[in-house]
Amino acid sequence: MDRISGLPDEVLVKILSYVPTKVAVSTSILSKRWEFLWMWLTKLEFGDSRRYSESEFKSLQCFLNRNLPLHRAPVLESFGLDLGGKYLKPEDIRMWAVVAVSHYIRELKISVSHYSDKLNILPSSLYTCKSLVVLKLNGGILLDVPRMVCLPSLRTLELRKLIYAKEGSLQRLLSNCPVLEYLQVALCQLDNMGTFTVIVPSLQRLSLFIPSIFHLDEVVINASSLEQFVLVDRNYDSHPWLIENTPKLRRAYIKVESTDLKSLIGSITSVKYLTISTAAMFGEGFIFNHLEDLTLLYAPEEDLSNLLVRFLNGSPNLQGLKCVSEMNLRLNDENHGMFSWNEPSTVPECLLSSLQKFTWSDYLGRPQDRDIAVYILKNARRLRTAKFVADTRLVPQLEMITESTRSSRASSTCELHFC
């Protein structure tokens, strides 16, 4: 220990930066030499207090109240709080956030598991922090956005299960983030937002999670730089979608429960890469001229064929197709989800001219599954590889290989793979 203690302060602080904050703080008891070294750390993470006893939580509370205002690093690269429990005091968290902001914080993460009250813990100084690049908020935090908002450096914003003080709070915040590139919003169960609005010209990636019990009148998205959109919507109620001015949108992941999605599907027809669940049924007439890679997510009890036919007919330039079962059948459920294959009346253009790769994960080998697989092999003229990944308890590999090799193939160069 004496040899290490002889190293320069800068080196010792660098060493401490590689260990958890709790460990770094504990070195203060080693000697006078180490007592205040941790106070020069630029990254502070105060862990999951939900597992703390009352005495442990109060000890952490006293430690932060006493030491955090004395922290010596002029700039904090990151500051994280993961807090919970009935002993939590909102005024303490607000004070700790104020201290972090005063140290020109670049990344701030606050996670609160306590929902009994609306926790108004965010200081007004946070909303005008010029140094903040990443802000991640999670839990029972009240987002009450003041009139004065300016976050000129914020590029990443994650808001998970927050409480919004009033409708329009989110958009007021977003409209004052001129360089925001990534936004993730997970709405809170039982909340009511009215209209969910995202109008951010700089936004490149958007992830939206809507819970099953949530009232939402409408979703409006206007983002001229948007390249990637992730939507997980567990709400069965239909709500209109207005996605406009997204000329750069190329990737979309859509997993929904509602079946009324015409306005949503009509807004993403320009994508090149699409993952979508079979619950997302939509009407005829949608053309995906730019779609190159499609992944269809389906549950065994759902009819895969209807959505597959619509995409094959509406995606003339499709190059890659993947079907993925989202749950495995039990051995005694082999007859579960029996549907007939609705074969297209004419061969889709993508099978004749562009489809090169076909993959089926968790292939179940039911009659309708075999019919779909055989149809694609029989008609895809440019197919290079066809891969089937099956649970061999349900589909013996020898049977699968025999069926597939006996099927006629439009492409003489197609390689079959079985896993």
For residue 171, is it within any domain? no
pLDDT at residue 331, rounded to an integer = 40
Q: Could you give the CA distance from residue 381 to residue 392 in angstroms, rounded to a whole number? A: 29
For residue 301, is it within any domain? yes
Contact 371, 341 (CB under 8 A): yes
Reported as a pLDDT band with limits 50, 70 and 90, residue 281 is low
For residue 6, is it within any domain? no
User: Lowest mean pLDDT: which of 137-151, 271-285, 291-305, 374-388?
Assistant: 271-285
For residue 142, is it within any domain? no
To the nearest 10 degrees (0 to 180), the angle between helices 90-102 and 54-67 is 30
DSSP for residue 287:
-
- The more confidently predicted of residues 216 and 407 is 216
| Helical (H) or strand (E) element with 43 | strand 43-48
Q: Which residues have CB under 8 Å from 146's CB, separation 6+?
A: 124, 127
Token couple for 409: 């193939």
Over residues 341-389, the pLDDT tens digits come to 778 889 999 999 999 999 999 888 788 888 898 899 999 999 999 998 8
For residue 177, is it within any domain? no
For residue 365, is it within any domain? yes
For residue 212, is it within any domain? no
Residue 374 domain boundaries: 272-419
Over residues 20-54, the pLDDT tens digits come to 888 888 877 677 767 788 889 999 998 765 566 77
For residue 416, is it within any domain? yes
List, as one string, the DSSP characters of 172-197: HHHTT-TT--EEEEEPPTT-EEEEEE
Q: Could you give the CA distance from residue 57 to residue 317 in angstroms, rounded to a whole number? A: 59
Q: How many structural domains compose the chain? A: 1
| Distance from the Cα of residue 392 to its chain's centroid | 32
Over residues 71-116, the pLDDT tens digits come to 899 999 999 988 876 677 788 889 999 999 999 999 999 998 765 5
pLDDT at residue 50, rounded to an integer = 59
DSSP 3-state of 67: helix
pLDDT at residue 198, rounded to an integer = 95
Q: Which residues have CB under 8 Å from 381's CB, separation 6+?
A: 351, 352, 353, 410, 411
